[in-house]
Amino acid sequence: MFCSRGFLSENSFQRAAPRPEGLSDNDMDLKEWFANRKKKQEQAEVKQPLTTEEYCALWTQCFQCRELLYTKDLRENLHVCPKCLYHFRVGAEQRVEQLTDPGSFEEIDANLRSSDPLGFVDSEPYPKRLRDAERKSGLVEALLSGTATMEENPVALGIMDFGHFGGSMGSVVGEKVARLIEHAEEKRLPLILFSSSGGARMQEGILSLMQLAKTSSALKSFHDAGLLYISVLTEPTYGGVTASFAMLGDIIIAEPGARVGFAGRRVIEQTIRQKLPADFQTAEYLLSHGQVDMVVERTKLRETLVQLIEFHTKQNKPKSGSSQQTEPVIPGRAG
Amino acid sequence: MFCSRGFLSENSFQRAAPRPEGLSDNDMDLKEWFANRKKKQEQAEVKQPLTTEEYCALWTQCFQCRELLYTKDLRENLHVCPKCLYHFRVGAEQRVEQLTDPGSFEEIDANLRSSDPLGFVDSEPYPKRLRDAERKSGLVEALLSGTATMEENPVALGIMDFGHFGGSMGSVVGEKVARLIEHAEEKRLPLILFSSSGGARMQEGILSLMQLAKTSSALKSFHDAGLLYISVLTEPTYGGVTASFAMLGDIIIAEPGARVGFAGRRVIEQTIRQKLPADFQTAEYLLSHGQVDMVVERTKLRETLVQLIEFHTKQNKPKSGSSQQTEPVIPGRAG
Amino acid sequence: MVDQKITPLEFEKPLALLAQQIELLEKQIGEGAHPELENDLDRLNQQYDQLKRSLYSNLRGIDHLALARHPQRPYTRDYLGRWDSAWIEMHGDRKGVDDPAMVTGLLRMGDHKVVVCGTQKGRTIHEKKNCNFGMPQPEGYRKALRLFQHAEKFQLPIINLIDTPGAYPGLAAEEHNQAEAIAVNLRELSGLTVPVISVITGEGGSGGALAIGVANRILMLEHSVYSVISPEGCASILWRSADKVAEACTAMKMTAREIKQLGVADEVVTEPLGGAHHDADFAAEKLREALVRHLNELTKMSPKELRKDRQNKFRRLGAFVES
Amino acid sequence: MVDQKITPLEFEKPLALLAQQIELLEKQIGEGAHPELENDLDRLNQQYDQLKRSLYSNLRGIDHLALARHPQRPYTRDYLGRWDSAWIEMHGDRKGVDDPAMVTGLLRMGDHKVVVCGTQKGRTIHEKKNCNFGMPQPEGYRKALRLFQHAEKFQLPIINLIDTPGAYPGLAAEEHNQAEAIAVNLRELSGLTVPVISVITGEGGSGGALAIGVANRILMLEHSVYSVISPEGCASILWRSADKVAEACTAMKMTAREIKQLGVADEVVTEPLGGAHHDADFAAEKLREALVRHLNELTKMSPKELRKDRQNKFRRLGAFVES
Ligand SMILES: [Zn+2]
Ligand SMILES: [Zn+2]
């Protein structure tokens, strides 16, 4: 277990994820914080039973409100800060745990691996970068896909993981999304896709761009089949992923605070030469600008998804003997 | 023949149309102008062979550039000022002459007359207003509809006439538009509707409002049948007509200078308490705001309509023996 | 018995006066000062009930208008919350705007799952401004259209609640082509293959109301009004006087009963005596019963029948002579 | 022989130098000063032709990029006017914006009547600004979508011309949801039942290019480029240096021939020696011939086949290992 700057993915708790490209580094390092604290404590009274590493495993500092949180509590609260509702980034496997009925998730297309169609080299060859990313994140790709049940409702579920290669979409992500959509269409399952991505994967060049068309095209057939697709936007979703499947949901949900856009904030500021509003491209900004249907806290995400799925898939059953005016019971709602 | 303020409909040349509701009266009266001029001339040299009325029949003053135009020339130029391209308002019958192959127009639904479903009385009963409007305009309704050919292309053609009751849409206009659309759908004819209207006819209350739904609903079937509808917006088109069939063309054309909108300029200025831009709601403003496909001068309207009809209705005939690269001949184009 | 929190309208003043007298008398009796006045109190109470009944059964057009515009009248969100406290709100036109004057969402009503759209006036000053006093922007109509298309895709019935002075006569609204937004809704609503029920709950103002009013069934609350132009607009154009609003209301035949007589409304839904704002729960329940009844009927029809039924309904509307 | 009006690019400098020498020599000979120099002139002219051929047959990625961005390169309107001087321009998204960076219309090409859409860069400073340097706003993509739907309704083939740095990274563009505008175009283009041909005529920049690039056939002009991100963007992110644009161009394999090798482009259309701007008429005619050839093939397919063909084309694209 490692210490984490809250800003990084929850993956970093377990796997020391690589620093995602394009993210700022202005937050205080937790280790540093502990070092300072320790120094102070040593100066006062020397009584420090835990090592820094042990401390880090037990405690996490909230990126937003700086509160020190007991890591176990944080995990039980789905990695949402109980003080300020800051939503820590979580990995794909953890999402599966948070969302699906225990043991119901069956991964598909786990056997797809990136190749190197361009022989791409910058400071390092792409294959080496791939190996490094896999080693560091413990993930072979930036998308985990499969089928599961949610409160007994079968679903097709795809979850992007920013921890692997900045969640970038190359041929494998595109192919896995397309196959998942096709699978959902064939089995007539509702489809849920969680986005988290820096955009298309440059190292696969034009083939990465083509994944936008491939996934959107698959959604056309899916849409025409009258099936439900819920897109969930999570911190951060940018570029080619936003400009394809992420924005094509019948219903689009965003997690609080998630930043979502096509062009990045810095690029826009450089282009228009003015500062952008502080809440620009946040989930809340998107909501007030008509781009998402709702912003849903992670702790209510599962029940909201179940409610939406049951609303759109279950046939109305006339309850025998009951009046038409009875308030219907909506499973999965807290109240 | 009567003198006309250029701002009024061309109808007024022949029929002394009633002053349309809601139009300003700040333009100079031509009779006055002549009276002044005559007085001056009498003071100078008394040699005035024509009466004022005769003068008015021969000459028309342009509303926009104030140029005195020879009425016969003006008519030959389709009532477009040759100096400043000001488009005088023209009546439905004149439109038919300007647009269709001679003798090809066959009116339909000429036998529909307004009734008085509400027993509506303001300062006068609605039936009396109707009789007055008919007597003054020589028209029984604000829409003339029928079939015709344009350069041998059969079309269904509906033309609103602002000269009758301010071009307002009551049950008869709605019914005639709906029947024309149904007729065009049945015969698979391209449909052209010329709009010119102050809006829905208040004297028929809610039934007038329902004509928006009736005509738009008829266009739904027509649209689904894959047929072509060209909407031509002419001075002025407002209210319920704009908010129904006028804005539903596959292609929307506006005549230069025509003012088109939903709410009237004065109402908006009173609501937002600021002056509107001078060109607000003009055809050119609509074009730059993406609301119409093109602004076409009246003198080129016929050839444009024919070109569009032939583009959308005629099958491609492979010319035997000619190369694929030959520039196609487009009938009805001047160059 | 006398609801003190309700602001009386102009025509309700006699009733309010009587209520004040009753209150005074009750106070005196309560203080034990004049127990002999109990008979007077009974008489006054009887008078009050009589006056109330006669007042509300002889309302003029302009009185209905006042009730329809009553600041305490239940608005769209008041109904939705009462029908399904777990209704799911959907937001936005996906193109840059979420218009608060047009509320859209998913709701359960009896055994029916429906898409709801409704214009929303604000209650507080802040809400009023935010909702633009119930006048949607073009983007509001386009937001509704998105939900109509959602309903069509998932074959869900649609319920529209209408309470709007009309579309907003503003610069941006014209720039963004509100005429087109309304026209497209009229056309697309007419083509849907799901049940559509529209309810005028308050003011049904012109094209801005019709934009979500092309339905298989049109219901009107007892005191709601529906007109081709605002009575104020009608008075100023035809009578050239702002004082003639009452005359315009009468001439336009805009009350629920008149609109039903003209064949436009299919049903008038009873309100609590004095208007929906006297008992919002009762008003919501009455409307709910009517809606469920119509939903039960309409959901028996095939998609093709539903479309045809709606198109026929509007095809027939109008009055003319064919010689 | 030497086209003086064309601005030479950096890599064309040796050629331009030689051209200057030739011009000088010609002038001297013309003045009768040194008739003995005629042999030198012949030699120089030969050298010039050789250099030109070798130069343009050994271009690096960044050289193609420079040619694709040449300020005198023919733009969309230059092609449309040459193909059909009577083409009919259609304007607007019907919702408030007519984006000059996206040109749309109706055009005849051989015996074919087609809908055309194309990004437009400006030539003059005013035009450039007006067209936002060829970067459409979301409303531009929606304008194109309206025309795509028009084409579908009337079963007209679609030709898209692409020459854009990409979508505009601006505040309003994000507010108006350009990601959605692009995504919807991708989805809707894939569902059309008419022939769609897209041509990269200059720069094919990322999602903003793809938004009108989901086609049955993708053609690229010889010196056009197509990339997932601008080479400048790629260099600054991966090399962390603006000087490494040439490296980024090479690494991304963005030239017409490379894009064809990767299976994305279906045909590379020859340009005049030195680039399309040396002879726009010739370039337009060559492209026209190719387009008519593809139109002739595609119009033989059924609507269903056309949709399937397009979806299959993109379904196949990508490179991965399945273990
Ligand atoms: Zn916190
Ligand atoms: Zn003039």
Chain D contacts in chain A segment 76-135 (CB below 8 A): 111-115, 117-118, 120-123
Whether the CB-CB separation of A34 and A17 falls below 8 Å is answered with: no
**Lowest-confidence region among A201-205, A230-234, B23-27:** B23-27
**Chain C CB contacts of A294 below 8 Å:** 88-91
Report whether pLDDT(B116) > 80.
Answer: yes
Report whether pLDDT(B263) > 70.
Answer: yes
- Residue (of C29, C63, C59, C60) closest to C44 by Cα position: C29
**Chain C CB contacts of B21 below 8 Å:** 237
Specify the DSSP element, H or E, that contains D237: none
> Is C60 strand, coil or helix?
coil
Q: In whole angstroms, what is the distance from residue A245 CA to residue C178 CA?
A: 30
Express each pLDDT in B212-248 by its tens digit: 999 999 999 999 999 999 999 999 999 999 999 999 9
- Residue (of C25, C64, C19, C28) closest to C41 by Cα position: C25
Q: Cα dist. B319→A106, B329, D210 in Å?
A: 60, 11, 35
pLDDT value of position B332: 38
The answer to whether C154 contacts A317, with C-beta atoms less than 8 Å apart, is no
Chains B and A touch (3+ CB pairs under 8 A): no
pLDDT beneath 70: ranges in chain D = 1-4, 33
Q: In whole angstroms, what is the distance from residue D3 CA to residue A35 CA?
A: 71
Tokens of C233: 């607009």
Specify the DSSP element, H or E, that contains D210: helix D206-210
- In this prediction, residues A3-26 reach a mean pLDDT of 35
> Chain B within 8 Å of C89 (Cβ-Cβ)?
no
**Chain B CB contacts of C314 below 8 Å:** 210, 213-214, 217
User: Nearest CA of chain C to the CA of D176: how many Å?
Assistant: 4
pLDDT value of position C81: 97
Residue from the list C93, C113, C139 with its beta carbon closest to the beta carbon of A311? C113
DSSP β-ladder status, C102-109 and C88-90: antiparallel
Q: From ligand 2's centre to the CA of B80, what distance in Å? A: 8
Report whether pLDDT(C39) > 50.
Answer: yes
> Chain A within 8 Å of C89 (Cβ-Cβ)?
yes
Residues 6+ apart with CB under 8 A from A49: none
pLDDT value of position C154: 97
Whether the CB-CB separation of C166 and C135 falls below 8 Å is answered with: yes
Dihedral angle at the C-alpha atoms of D78, D79, D80, D83, nearest 10 degrees?
Answer: 130
Report whether pLDDT(A15) > 50.
Answer: no
Dihedral angle at the C-alpha atoms of C281, C282, C285, C287, nearest 10 degrees?
Answer: -110
Per-residue confidence band for C14, with pLDDT thresholds at 50, 70 and 90: confident
Residue from the list A111, A217, A290 with its beta carbon closest to the beta carbon of D322? A111
Q: Cα dist. A255→A89, A240, A250, A260 in Å?
A: 10, 19, 17, 10
Express each pLDDT in A77-110 by its tens digit: 999 999 999 999 999 999 999 999 999 999 999 9
Express each pLDDT in A308-333 by its tens digit: 999 998 765 444 443 444 343 344 33
Residues 6+ apart with CB under 8 A from D306: D192, D193, D194, D195, D196, D216, D298
pLDDT value of position B47: 52
More confident residue, B326 or D312: D312
Residue C71 bridge partners (DSSP): none
- Residue (of A56, A92, A52, A60) closest to A76 by Cα position: A60
The answer to whether B276 contacts C237, with C-beta atoms less than 8 Å apart, is no
Q: How would DSSP label each residue in A84-95?
A: T--B-B--HHHH
CB-CB neighbours of D23 under 10 Å: 12
Whether the CB-CB separation of A228 and A250 falls below 8 Å is answered with: yes
Q: From ligand 2's centre to the CA of B5, what distance in Å? A: 13
> Chain B within 8 Å of D300 (Cβ-Cβ)?
no
**Chain C CB contacts of D96 below 8 Å:** 138, 175-177
pLDDT value of position B49: 60
Q: In whole angstroms, what is the distance from residue D164 CA to residue D153 CA?
A: 28
Q: Cα A26 to the chain's mean position, in Å?
A: 22
In eight-state DSSP terms, residue A2 is -
Q: From ligand 1's centre to the CA of A298, what distance in Å? A: 14
> Chain B within 8 Å of D112 (Cβ-Cβ)?
yes
Residue of C nearest to A223 (CA): C153
Q: Cα A247 to the chain's mean position, in Å?
A: 15
Assign 3-class secondary structure to chain B. CCCCCCCCECHHHHHCCCCCCCCCCCCCCHHHHHHHHHHHHHHHCCCCCCCHHHHHHHEEECCCCCCEEEHHHHHHCCCECCCCCCECECCHHHHHHHHCCCCCCEECCCCEEECCCCCCECCCEHHHHHHHHHHHHCCCCCEEEEEEEECCEEEEEEEECCCCHHHCECHHHHHHHHHHHHHHHHHCCCEEEEEEECCECHHHHHHHHHHHHHHHHHHHHHHHCCCCEEEEEEEEECHHHHCCHHHCCCEEEECCCCEECCCCHHHHHHHHCCCCCCCCCEHHHHHHCCCCCEECCHHHHHHHHHHHHHHHHCCCCCCCCCCCCCCCCCCCCCC
Q: What is the CATH number of domain D65-316?
A: 3.90.226.10
The answer to whether B217 contacts C314, with C-beta atoms less than 8 Å apart, is yes
Residue from the list D188, D227, D320 with its beta carbon closest to the beta carbon of A113? D320
More confident residue, B157 or A22: B157
Q: What percent of chain C has pLDDT over 70?
A: 98
pLDDT value of position A37: 53
Q: In whole angstroms, what is the distance from residue C90 CA to residue C105 CA?
A: 5
In eight-state DSSP terms, residue A299 is G
**Lowest-confidence region among A90-99, C42-51, C260-269:** C42-51
> Is A5 strand, coil or helix?
coil
Per-residue confidence band for B51, with pLDDT thresholds at 50, 70 and 90: low
Report whether pLDDT(A335) > 50.
Answer: no
Q: What ipTM does the predicted assembly reach? A: 0.91
- Residue (of A118, A204, A214) closest to D317 by Cα position: A214
pLDDT value of position B26: 39
- Residue (of C199, C182, C262, C164) closest to B204 by Cα position: C262
**Chain D CB contacts of A220 below 8 Å:** 187-188, 190-191, 311
User: Nearest CA of chain B to the CA of C259: how many Å?
Assistant: 7
Residue from the list B123, B214, B247 with its beta carbon closest to the beta carbon of C180? B247
pLDDT value of position A316: 52
Report whether pLDDT(A128) > 80.
Answer: yes
> Chain C within 8 Å of A144 (Cβ-Cβ)?
no
Report whether pLDDT(B260) > 50.
Answer: yes
pLDDT value of position A327: 42
Residue from the list A240, A248, A272 with its beta carbon closest to the beta carbon of D171? A272
User: Nearest CA of chain A to the CA of D102: how many Å?
Assistant: 18
Angle, helices C280-298 vs C76-83, to 10°: value is: 70
Q: In whole angstroms, what is the distance from residue C61 CA to residue C72 CA?
A: 19
Q: From ligand 1's centre to the CA of A82, what distance in Å? A: 7
pLDDT value of position D8: 87
The answer to whether B250 contacts D139, with C-beta atoms less than 8 Å apart, is no
Classify residue D35 as exposed, middle or buried by CB count within 10 Å of its CB (0-12, 13-18, 19+): exposed
Classify residue A256 as exposed, middle or buried by CB count within 10 Å of its CB (0-12, 13-18, 19+): middle
> Chain D within 8 Å of A278 (Cβ-Cβ)?
no
**CA-angle at A215, arms to A214 and A220, nearest 5°:** 100
Tokens of D184: 């919807």
Express each pLDDT in C92-149 by its tens digit: 999 999 999 999 999 999 899 999 999 999 999 999 999 999 999 999 999 999 999 9
**Chain D CB contacts of C175 below 8 Å:** 96
Whether the CB-CB separation of C120 and C134 falls below 8 Å is answered with: yes
> Chain B within 8 Å of C251 (Cβ-Cβ)?
yes
Tokens of B103: 């003798």
pLDDT value of position A36: 59
The answer to whether D98 contacts B287, with C-beta atoms less than 8 Å apart, is yes
Task: Provide the H-helix boundaries in C69-176.
Answer: 76-83, 125-130, 138-153, 171-175
Residues 6+ apart with CB under 8 A from A102: none
Domains of chain A (ranges; CATH) run 12-48 (no CATH), 90-313 (3.90.226.10)
pLDDT value of position D290: 98
CB-CB neighbours of A289 under 10 Å: 22
Report whether pLDDT(B322) > 50.
Answer: no
Tokens of C169: 């006569």
- Judged by its nearest atom, the ligand closest to the C-alpha of residue A74 is 1
Report whether pLDDT(B328) > 80.
Answer: no
Report whether pLDDT(A9) > 70.
Answer: no
Per-residue confidence band for A13, with pLDDT thresholds at 50, 70 and 90: very low
pLDDT value of position A10: 35
The answer to whether C98 contacts A319, with C-beta atoms less than 8 Å apart, is no
Tokens of D274: 């030195």
Classify residue A4 as exposed, middle or buried by CB count within 10 Å of its CB (0-12, 13-18, 19+): buried
Express each pLDDT in C206-246 by its tens digit: 999 999 999 999 999 999 999 999 999 999 999 998 899 99
Torsional class of A327: left (φ above 0), alpha (ψ -120 to 50), beta (otherwise): beta
- Residue (of B205, B165, B201, B207) closest to C249 by Cα position: B205
Report whether pLDDT(B156) > 90.
Answer: yes
> Chain D within 8 Å of A216 (Cβ-Cβ)?
yes
| HSE value, Cβ hemisphere, 13 Å, CA-based, for C316 | 10
Express each pLDDT in B187-211 by its tens digit: 999 999 999 999 999 999 999 999 9
Q: What are phi and psi of A18, to 5 degrees?
A: -65, 150
> Chain A within 8 Å of D262 (Cβ-Cβ)?
yes
Q: Cα dist. A319→A264, A316, B314, B334, D230 in Å?
A: 51, 9, 57, 71, 60
- Judged by its nearest atom, the ligand closest to the C-alpha of residue A6 is 1
Q: In whole angstroms, what is the distance from residue C227 CA to residue C165 CA?
A: 10
Question: Greatest CA span in chain C, whole angstroms?
Answer: 77
**Lowest-confidence region among A48-57, A298-307, B90-99, B171-180:** A48-57
Report whether pLDDT(A2) > 90.
Answer: no
Q: From ligand 2's centre to the CA of B83, what distance in Å? A: 5
Per-residue confidence band for A232, with pLDDT thresholds at 50, 70 and 90: very high
Task: Provide the H-helix boundaries in A188-300.
Answer: 205-224, 239-242, 265-272, 283-288
- Residue (of C91, C90, C87) closest to C107 by Cα position: C87
E strand residue ranges, chain D: 88-90, 102-109, 112-119, 158-164, 196-205, 217-221, 225-227, 267-269, 320-322
Mean predicted lDDT score pLDDT of chain C: 94
Residue from the list C99, C110, C154 with its beta carbon closest to the beta carbon of A312? C154
Query: What single letter denotes the amino acid at residue B116?
Result: D
Per-residue confidence band for C34, with pLDDT thresholds at 50, 70 and 90: confident
pLDDT value of position D138: 98
Report whether pLDDT(A31) > 80.
Answer: no
CB-CB neighbours of C153 under 10 Å: 16
